[in-house]
């Protein structure tokens, strides 16, 4: 199944085509490269298995401080 994704590049369409040729194919290739080795469905609970990062007391206070 395919879908359509749009984006607003900072460069002109002509500049992208001149550089990459088939822009859609290039973007699809970049997406595939980025997703290699990643499970298609990830369970959010897997993040709980990771070691918790250490934070300073100042960082902890920032999290608790109301805006």
- pLDDT tens-digit map of 8-17: 999 999 999 9
Domain that holds residue 43: 13-64
Phi-psi sector, 26: left (phi>0), alpha (psi -120 to 50), beta: alpha
* In contact, 13 and 19? CB cutoff 8 Å: no
34, burial (CB in 10 Å: exposed 0-12, middle 13-18, buried 19+): exposed
Q: Is 9 in contact with 16 (CB distance < 8 Å)?
A: yes
Domain for residue 52, yes or no?
yes
Q: Say what the pTM is.
A: 0.47
Q: Is residue 32 part of a domain?
A: yes
> Does residue 35 fall inside a structural domain?
yes
Within a domain: residue 6?
no
Whether 2 maps to a domain, the answer reads no
Residue 41 has pLDDT above 60, yes or no: no
Counted domains in the chain: 1
Residue 18 maps to a domain: yes
């Amino acid at each position: 199944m395919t879908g359509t994704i749009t984006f607003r590049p900072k460069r002109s369409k002509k500049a992208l085509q001149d550089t990459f040729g088939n822009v859609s194919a290039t973007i699809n290739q970049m997406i595939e490269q980025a997703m290699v080795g990643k499970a298609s469905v990830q369970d959010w609970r897997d993040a709980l298995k990771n070691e918790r990062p250490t934070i300073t007391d100042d960082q902890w206070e920032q999290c608790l401080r109301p805006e």
